Structure formats: C-alpha cells, structure tokens
Chain A
Amino acid sequence: MDAIHTFLEVKDLKTRFHTPEGTVYAVNGVSFTLKEGETLAVVGESGCGKSVTMMSILRLISIPPGEIVSGEVTYRDRNLLKLSESEMEHVRGKEVAMIFQDPMTSLNPVLTVGRQLTETLRTHTNMDEEQSRQRAVTLLEWVGIPDAGKRLTDYPHQFSGGMRQRVMIAMALACTPSLLIADEPTTALDVTIQAQIIELVKKLKQDVGMAMIWITHDLGVVAGIADRVIVMYAGFIVEEAEVDDLYDSPLHPYTTALLQALPRADRRRDKNLKSIQGVPPNLLAEPRGCPFAPRCEFVKERCVNENPLLIETENRHKVACWVNVKTGALR
C-alpha cells in the first residue's frame, strides 16, 4: 500500500498571530511528509513554532488572534484546512490524537478520570455507557495504571504527574488513532518518569501501529524514538534527516550547535559543551534572509539578504543553508 495515498503531507504552512504588539510570524512555510506508521521527531528551541505547527494541522489555533495564512494539510487525501468544523471534529481524537506538555493542567479538575475517558469513546464510537466503561478500564490497564477499575471514579488531583500523563495517553489512544501528535509529553515530568513514559509510548506505538510526531526541544531523547527528525528554527524547517544521519553529519549550523550543546556519555562534561551564542529570533518582524544568520558562525553576505530554501542534498537529507558547513564555502 506504499505511496498510493499520502498519509500526511504538510505543504507551505504559514501561521501568524495578530497581537497588539504586532504580527507574530510563528510558522513560515513548513512542509514535510509522514508515512503510515512512521515516527517523526520535531526539535528546536522554545518558541520556534513546533506547537503552533501541530496545532495548525489539527486546526486548534484560536482564530483570532491566530490566522492560518496559507498551506495545505493533506491527511489521507483530504485537505484538513478545507474541512468543515464538524468534519474536523471527526478527525480530532479519532484519527489524529494529541497529547500535551502539562498533564497537571490538561485534565479537567472537576470531572472524574473515567468521565473524561469515556467521553472520547462516546463521542467517536457508538458504545453505550457500560461498554465505554469497560473499554476505559482496559485502556487504563494498558497504560499501566494499577487498580484501573477503581480509579475511574477518581479525580485528576488524586493522580501523580506521571500517572496523569498516562491517563492523557490512554485518552489519546482511546479510539486507536492512526496518528499521535505528542507535544513535549515528558517535559513537565521528573527524569525517571520521563524515561518510563517514553518507554510506554514506544510500546503502545508498536501495539497500535500508528504514526507519531514527537515534539521535543531535547535532541537527547530523539534517538531512541524517531525514524526521522525535523529541526525547526524561527518558524522554518532548517534541516530534515534520518536520525542517524542527523547525529553523524548535521548539515545546518544550528543543528550542529544543538548537538554540541547536548551532554553525551562519550564526551567529558564541560569540555565541549557549548551553548548557542546570541539571542533567539524576534518573530515580530517579517522574516528576511536566513533567520539563523545573526547567530551563525559561518554567516556570509548572502545569508543576510536571502533565505535559503530547504533542499535535498543527499538521500533524503534536507537542509536550508547557503553554506556547506564541512567546507565553509557557499553551496
């Protein structure tokens, strides 16, 4: 069933926010594709537009102040940006599910966990109360919540952070979606819990056979999860590659800097650990030139005036940079 249908293709997505301070150019022409069952990681500093990209795909951006200026999001041959709101409701939670960064605030504090779990099932399937309840217990057991049957009537505040994220995951997977978007699902958790959640999601992904987009600003966790990685900067994709390619031969100066900022077991601490120089970009101005130019050590005149397009250099390795970082010369 390869390549006859597109599973997910995002083309030239642009999202802006019209705020009192001016227009925020949050996503500036993002394009990527995802195959059935594939896992894509999206990395980049805080504020580079990772969440806004994903929320635009699911049309979760509040309009106003947001605006999806242009783009196409083709999911199984339908352009999601053109669907009606009620058609979109059938996609959200049923075919494409999303989990969020903060499990402490993403569950409604005044509704029981069981209620919030069955609600998704009741909305998207024709299960009755008892069936959805059975299914909810199964789901909770599946994500590793002990005593699942008894916990249905508990409220979110009666769960720990890690357990709540498990509940969120159970909720997202309730209707066995074909795509799960996980927006930094471990950032708010303790390190040990983080590892558990990552393992859990990996296992569940195998069980369901779904595709996944995993957002993170930590390149360290990417290797164990993803097939491919997208690196974002200031609302642009600056590099895209298979995980191993990206680690072994990063092509964008920003990626290089990110990798150098990463503590690694095979390196002595403090020695080569660099943080990226300069300040993160201001998204309030219409982008002109390469957004990374002001912080780039390879910067050339051309970089300041012309924004490089994302081009494929080697096999499936794409980069948006005028400079060949290995030689230091212009491409």
Chain B
Amino acid sequence: MTPPLQHGTFPLQRWRMLLKRFGWALFTILFVVVLNFFLFRVLPGDPARQGIRDPRLTPETIQAIRVRFGLDKPIINCFESLNPVKVGSCGVNPLDTQFFIYVKNLLKGDLGQSFYYNRPVKDILGERLWNTILLIGAGQILAILIGVVFGLFAAWKARTAIDYAALISGLVAWSLPTFWLAIILLFWGTNHGLPIGGKATPGMSSYPFMQQMGDLLQHLFLPTLAYTIIYMGEYMLIMRSSLLDVLAEDYILAAKAKGLSAFQILKDHALKNSMLPLVTLIAINLGFTVGGAVQIETVFSWPGLGGAIFEAVGRKDYPLLQGGFLLIAISVILANFIADLTYSYLDPRVQAD
C-alpha cells in the first residue's frame, strides 16, 4: 500500500495540534457558559417584574412568579443576588443555587423558560435558528460562490477592464449599508409582486408540500439577495488580492518553467494557497452571522435568531437572551475551530505551536 501523494502524511504532531485546539475550544465554551450566567445576574432590574408589567400584581403573585422561574433561590453560595449585591449564607446546598441549577439544566439541554413567550427557550431558539441557517446558508453559499468565481476571474484578468469592473462593483457591494440595501430591495420587491415579509404566506400549511416549498423560496428570495450582495463584495476582493499575491510567488514561476499550462498552474498551484485567507474569513462570518443578520431579518420580518434576540432585548426576556448569547458564542467558537481544522488541512506548515 502506498500512501497517496496528494495530501501527504498526517503526522502525530498534527493530531496533537488539533487536540490542543479542541481543548481550547472546550475551555472557551466553559468560560462563556459561566460568564453568560453572571452577566445576566448583574444586569439591573427584577426579572420577575420585567416581562409582566402589570401594576395590579400582588406581592404574592410576584413571589409565585419568582418561585416558578427559580428566582427565589440564591445565585450561588455566599451571594443572595448580584444586583444589588446581597451577601447570603455560604452554607446553602450548592445544588440548590441558581448557578448549579443553570449548569444542571444546561447539561440536560434545558435553557430555561422564556418570560415573554412562556415557552422553553430551547424550542424558540431551535425554530429561529433553523430559519436563520436557511437564510444565512443560502446567502453565504451564494456569496462565496459568486465572490470566489468573480475574484478568481478578476485576478486572472488583472489590470484589464474586466478586473476594474469587478473591483469597483466589489467595493460598492462591500460598502453598501445593509439596512439601506434591504429597504431598497424591499421597495423593489413590492413593485414586482414578491412577498416582502415573513417566511410563508398565511394559510400555506394546508397546501401540498411542493407548493409550500415554492412559497418558502419566494419568501427567502429578497433577504437572501440582500445578504448575498452584502457579503459577496468582501469575498471577491479578498479572493482577488489573495490570488494576485499567490500568482506573484516564485513557485508559480517555477511551475510555469516546468511546462505546466496556465490552467494547471491556477488549479493545482494557486487555488489552494489563495483560499487560505478566505477560510478564516468564511469561518468568522459564519460564526458571527448566526446572530448578526439582525438588520436583514428585521427589514424583511424574517423570523430568525437575530430578530428574536433583538426583540428579547426590548422585552427584557432574560432567559431567551441568555440562551441566544450562548448559542452565538458557541457558534463563533465552533466556527473558529472548524477554520483551524480546514487551515491545517490546507496548509501543511501549520504544526503544533
């Protein structure tokens, strides 16, 4: 058995590096879990009174609400509450404090109960996350495809009219304000009979599956278009400059001197190297946009995660916010970890440091 020449060996050293990166990712997630808990306990106001602003509430009802959401328990040993800081008994059973209940529930996959919706946060986030992934997935894939293809083409035709046209449109697309673009598309969509809000026409659920899908695609069209335009400019410019850098490398000249064709050089020698900066960018974008498509979701009333978090801020729906933040933080951390993995696959020089 001869190992393939394509990818070389995967030495122990690299496994060790990956394990180390994985360890760091886990550690960061743990840190975020802890931080996320205390952050929301330091915020001002009595959560029990935030969600329900009814002046007729009796102290008994408020107390009942507190018990219901577990807010009557001490935060953690020695602290009754953190805002205002109230020192409490250190001798309480740690398992009967808010912190450990939070950790225990997290381990069970329970993110608590939304104050506003009075439903499990997990369910709300689950639905919303799926919608966001639909929008972002479609948008990112399109933006990456268009950006990479045009960026490659522009670099290949560097310093020609094609290149300048691509460069200018890339810069324009990159610098368009998201909100403004979304509104423009919204107006445009209204004039062209496209659905401009939500993810389905009311009453659609009774139609056959294919028709439902068609309806969904129509609703997805405008927000995805906005998302694609916003991101493709960036991908295109990065791809272009990255490929131009690579094409100026000595090993490209050496490859040409070996008698390889321009296409072979592009495909085998330039592409992989020039993708490196893009990998990082994609990972960062993916991680952040899980929570970051707020503007587009808001304009198009797309029921995504960004919108849910945005609304939860206004409603002081702390459990939902807390769950949302955790989700975003974990997405960012995972995206970075995946970037590390891809990077170490693409670039053999990445070794344990």
Instruction: Give A contacts to B, CB under 8 Å.
Output: 58, 60, 64, 85-86, 89-94, 97-98, 100, 102, 105-112, 114-115, 118-120, 123-124, 130, 133, 152-155, 157, 168, 171
Pick out which of these stretches binds chain A: B211-219, B296-304, B343-351.
B343-351
- Given the interface contacts A90-B259, A123-B260, does A112 sit within 8 Å of B5 by beta carbon? yes
A115 touches B5 (CB 8 A): yes
- Chain A residues in 8 Å Cβ range of B264: 123
Tell me the complex Cα distance, A100–B258, Å: 12
Tell me the complex Cα distance, A157–B250, Å: 15
- Given the interface contacts A110-B272, A111-B268, does A94 sit within 8 Å of B5 by beta carbon? no
**Residue B205 is within 8 A (CB to CB) of chain A in the complex:** no
Tell me the complex Cα distance, A39–B261, Å: 29
In the complex, what's the smallest C-beta–C-beta distance from B116 to chain A, in angstroms?
51
- Given the interface contacts A100-B253, A100-B254, A152-B5, does A109 sit within 8 Å of B347 by beta carbon? yes
- Chain A residues in 8 Å Cβ range of B142: none
- Chain B residues in 8 Å Cβ range of A109: 251, 273, 347-349
- Chain A residues in 8 Å Cβ range of B348: 109-110, 112, 155, 157
- Chain A residues in 8 Å Cβ range of B315: none
In the complex, what's the smallest C-beta–C-beta distance from B177 to chain A, in angstroms?
35
Minimal Cβ-Cβ distance residue in A for B253: A60
Minimal Cβ-Cβ distance residue in A for B159: A64
Instruction: Give B contacts to A, CB under 8 Å.
Output: 2-3, 5-9, 159, 249-251, 253-262, 264, 268-269, 272-273, 346-349
- Chain A residues in 8 Å Cβ range of B260: 89, 93, 119, 123
- Chain B residues in 8 Å Cβ range of A85: 262
A100 touches B250 (CB 8 A): yes
A153 touches B261 (CB 8 A): no
- Chain A residues in 8 Å Cβ range of B8: 112, 153-155
In the complex, what's the smallest C-beta–C-beta distance from A325 to chain B, in angstroms?
38
In the complex, what's the smallest C-beta–C-beta distance from B350 to chain A, in angstroms?
10
- Chain A residues in 8 Å Cβ range of B347: 109-110
A153 touches B3 (CB 8 A): yes
In the complex, what's the smallest C-beta–C-beta distance from B267 to chain A, in angstroms?
11
A119 touches B268 (CB 8 A): yes
In the complex, what's the smallest C-beta–C-beta distance from A169 to chain B, in angstroms?
12
A108 touches B273 (CB 8 A): yes
A108 touches B258 (CB 8 A): no
- Chain B residues in 8 Å Cβ range of A97: 257-258
- Chain A residues in 8 Å Cβ range of B256: 60, 92
Interface contacts beyond A105-B250, A115-B5, A153-B3: sample of 7 additional A-B pairs, CB < 8 Å, sorted by A: A60-B257, A89-B259, A100-B250, A105-B251, A110-B346, A112-B348, A154-B9
In the complex, what's the smallest C-beta–C-beta distance from B70 to chain A, in angstroms?
53
A89 touches B3 (CB 8 A): no
A171 touches B258 (CB 8 A): yes
- Chain A residues in 8 Å Cβ range of B6: 112, 115
B9 touches A153 (CB 8 A): yes
Minimal Cβ-Cβ distance residue in B for A174: B258
In the complex, what's the smallest C-beta–C-beta distance from B342 to chain A, in angstroms?
13
Closest 5 CB pairs of A and B: A93-B259, A93-B258, A92-B259, A105-B250, A114-B5
- Given the interface contacts A105-B251, A133-B2, A155-B8, does A93 sit within 8 Å of B257 by beta carbon? yes
- Chain A residues in 8 Å Cβ range of B262: 85
B268 touches A124 (CB 8 A): no
Which residue, A64, A85, A111, has most C-beta atoms of chain B within 10 A?
A111
Query: 25 A-B residue contacts at CB 8 Å?
Result: A86-B261, A89-B259, A89-B260, A89-B261, A98-B254, A100-B250, A102-B250, A105-B250, A107-B251, A108-B255, A108-B269, A109-B273, A110-B272, A110-B346, A111-B272, A112-B6, A112-B7, A112-B348, A124-B259, A133-B5, A154-B9, A155-B8, A155-B348, A155-B349, A157-B349
- Chain B residues in 8 Å Cβ range of A112: 5-8, 348
- Chain A residues in 8 Å Cβ range of B254: 98, 100, 106-107, 168
Tell me the complex Cα distance, A109–B346, Å: 10
- Chain B residues in 8 Å Cβ range of A115: 5-6
Minimal Cβ-Cβ distance residue in B for A109: B349
Minimal Cβ-Cβ distance residue in A for B7: A112
Tell me the complex Cα distance, A154–B3, Å: 11
Minimal Cβ-Cβ distance residue in A for B248: A62
In the complex, what's the smallest C-beta–C-beta distance from A51 to chain B, in angstroms?
10
Minimal Cβ-Cβ distance residue in B for A157: B349
B349 touches A106 (CB 8 A): no
Minimal Cβ-Cβ distance residue in A for B349: A157
- Chain B residues in 8 Å Cβ range of A105: 249-251
Tell me the complex Cα distance, A171–B102, Å: 62
Tell me the complex Cα distance, A224–B153, Å: 48
A92 touches B257 (CB 8 A): yes
B258 touches A110 (CB 8 A): no
Minimal Cβ-Cβ distance residue in A for B346: A110
In the complex, what's the smallest C-beta–C-beta distance from B211 to chain A, in angstroms?
48
B250 touches A118 (CB 8 A): no
- Chain A residues in 8 Å Cβ range of B255: 108
